[in-house]
Amino acid sequence: MVIAECKQEVATFAAAASTYADFVIRRGAELLDYHVSAQEEVGGALEVFGDREQCVLAPTYSAKAIASGGLLAAPDFSRIASEFLESLADADEVDGAYFSLHGAMAAEGEDDPEGFLLSESRKILGDDVPIVVSLDLHAILTNRMLECSDAIVAYHTYPHVDFRQTGARAAKLLLAVLSGTARPITARVRIPMLARGDELITKTGTFGQVIREAEEFERLPAGLSAGVIIGNPFTDVPDLRSNSFAVANGDPQLAVGQAIRLARQIWARRHGMQAKLTGLDEAVALAAETAGTAVLMDAADATSSGASGDGNSVIHAAEQAGFPGRLLAPMVDAPAVEQAFAAGVGGTVRTTLGGSLDRLRFRPLPVEGRVKLLSDGRFRSESFHSECHAGPTAVLESGRRVFVVTSRAVNLYDRALFLAHGQDPRAFDLVVVKSPHCEPHMYQQWCSFLVSVDAPGATSANLRTLGHAKCPRPIFPLDETPDELPISVEIYGRDRSKRERTGL
């Protein structure tokens, strides 16, 4: 049983390109050792495979991005792809393959990296070896991905918390295919829609109602997998859109019917699936009036979505408004960190923060501050205990402002960066959180005020400001779209062929 992994979410609007150095590479047994305890998809698959004595695991290769990022440079994708495929070719006799992919990678000269990896893997493994793929909800689902795999499985939660469960579902499906008890038939409906906002939160939003119907389908005797993949609006590529899909056991009509139902449900809810944003000046004014901690969510500079992390728009707005309270903010600024290390703990630095990467959107903020702490930037996330590598990191205190400054971007969907560097968000009046969503207990359940701000950035939920050029048009909300969704269903099966039914 071959296991391989390649995961990165790319924001093509980001200023800084991604490189090979932005990935953690694991090979062979090292891949297994990491995933035994990590709360990720491969770990869930390992639990399932480990329960079957006849399963002989062949871990091959893992390239996992340290954080989401900008467009992956062509030589760097070529290197990752070569290593991925070479490790697959070196594997002994293979009966089946499980690939943990993200689905929203993009590289210079290759808009569909995962499709490329799957098509080349199919050439190596042959047509008779089943391949089951797990994907993020933000995947860009392409024809090549569906044609070259036997089945796909996608997350059911947003914010994502079902990593291991998704891997376990994929592993069970692969074992069923290998045993001959499952013959996957996939139906896919393309949905010209980009979605953002709180209605996507599956616990509380209307998107969760759609996902629960997909879960009901998976509980049917012939229901193998289903879901709605909403795509990543920050990855501007020709196949960007939302997609509904259903995988049925040998029953194309069942798959088609479910894919259509999911597509129509999500389309009917599309107007609610847009982010509600508050202008920067208004947000800062509201924060100043708040007793207790105010959290300003700067999703436009969300490193977990691929932004550069050097956005300082909220800080500028707070400065201009004369915000009186204590402020805590993360920042990616390698030159400032270098200066802090040169000064040492207790030393004073005169530097600028922000705008070191995305110079078109952000202007550097002059700062004079004391170095409170220096670290190597290694810590584990609060949410999933996964490793984070922020590079050399400094905590700078400038009056009533405290900045946790990293050399490179890391995911900021929880409090781990702050807590690992001695900063409790509860001790501040205003906290900048560079993420579109966090688990409620991280901030919402204790802060006095939380709002998503309309700030500039490569991952702004104000989608019309980004400048999409490659994605198919018309697409909601960028364009006028019909009230009724035009339905075209594509059907994929073991013969690798595709059939299409329109006008349904």
Task: Write down the mean pLDDT value for the chain.
Answer: 94
**Geometric angle at alpha carbon 211, from 207 and 216, rounded to 5°:** 150
What's the gap between Cα 369 and its chain centre? 34
d(CA 439, CA 359): 31
The dihedral over CA atoms of 43, 44, 50, 54, expressed in degrees to the nearest 10, equals -110
Per-residue pLDDT tens over the stretch 170-188: 999 999 999 999 999 999 9
Q: DSSP letter string over 47-91?
A: HHHHT-TT---EEEEEEEESS-BSPBPHHHHHHHHHHHHHHHHTS
In degrees rounded to 5, what are phi and psi of residue 384? -130, 5
The domain locations on the chain are: 2-273+485-502, 278-461
Mean pLDDT of all residues in 353-376:
97
- Render the burial of 339-364: b for 16+ CB within 10 Å, e for the rest: bbbebeeeeebebbbbbbbbeebbeb
pLDDT at 502: 44
pLDDT at residue 384 tops 90: no
Query: In 10 A of CB 81, how many CB atoms?
Result: 18
Query: What CA–CA distance (Å, rounded) separates 487 from 489?
Result: 6
Taking only Cα atoms into account, the Rg of the chain, rounded to an integer number of angstroms, comes to: 23
Q: Give 78-113 pLDDT, tens digit per residue.
A: 999 999 999 999 998 899 999 999 999 999 999 999
240-248 average pLDDT score: 98
Pick the more confident residue, 387 or 254. Answer: 254
User: Residues near 187 by Cβ (< 8 Å), separated by ≥ 6?
Assistant: 245, 246, 247, 248, 252, 255, 256, 258, 259, 260, 489, 490, 491, 492
**Region 210-221: what's the mean pLDDT?**
98
pLDDT in tens, 327-353: 999 999 999 999 999 999 999 999 999
Dig out the tokens for 312 from the structure. Answer: 């300082």
Which of 311, 313, 317 shows the shortest CA–CA distance to 287? Answer: 317
Report d(CA 93, CA 98) in Å as an integer: 15
What is the torsional sign of CA 56, 61, 65, 70?
negative
Given CA atoms 242, 229, 501, 254 in this order, what sign does their dihedral have? negative
In this prediction, residue 495 has a pLDDT band, given cuts at 50, 70 and 90, of: low
Please spell the DSSP secondary structure of 27-47, one letter per residue: ETHHHHHHHTTSSSHHHHHHH
Query: pLDDT category, 497, cuts 50, 70, 90?
Result: very low
Residue 501 has pLDDT above 70, yes or no: no
CA contacts within 13 A on the Cβ side of 170? 37
Q: Give the residue from 217, 198, 215, 220 showing the smallest Cα distance to 207.
A: 198
**What's residue 202's pLDDT?**
93
Is residue 290 predicted with pLDDT exceeding 70?
A: yes
Tens digits of residue pLDDT in 446-456: 999 999 999 99
DSSP E strand boundaries for 407-473 = 430-433, 449-454
Residue 55 confidence class, pLDDT cut points 50, 70, 90 = confident
- CB-facing half-sphere around the CA of 111: CA atoms within 13 A: 15
- Quick one: pLDDT at residue 113? 98
> What pLDDT score does 413 carry?
85
Nearest-10 crossing angle of helices 41-50, 163-179 = 40
pLDDT digits (tens, 9 = 90+) for 460-493: 999 999 999 999 999 999 999 999 999 999 999 9
CB atoms within 10 A of CB 243: 27
Taking a C-beta distance cutoff of 8 angstroms, is the pair 283, 321 a contact?
no
What is the distance between the alpha carbons of residues 195 and 193, in angstroms, rounded to a whole number?
6
Instruction: Report the alpha-carbon distance of residue 230 to residue 236 in Å, rounded.
Output: 13
Neighbouring C-beta atoms of residue 301, cutoff 10 Å: 34
Q: How many CB atoms lie within 10 A of CB 474?
A: 10
What's the pLDDT tens digit per position in 17-50? 999 999 999 999 999 999 988 889 999 999 999 8
Burial class (CB in 10 A: 0-12, 13-18, 19+), 440: middle
Neighbours of 469 (CB within 10 A): 8
Residue 53: which pLDDT band, with cuts at 50, 70 and 90? low
Contacts of 159 (CB under 8 A, 6+ apart): 201, 413, 437, 438, 439
- Which pLDDT does position 67 carry in this prediction? 86
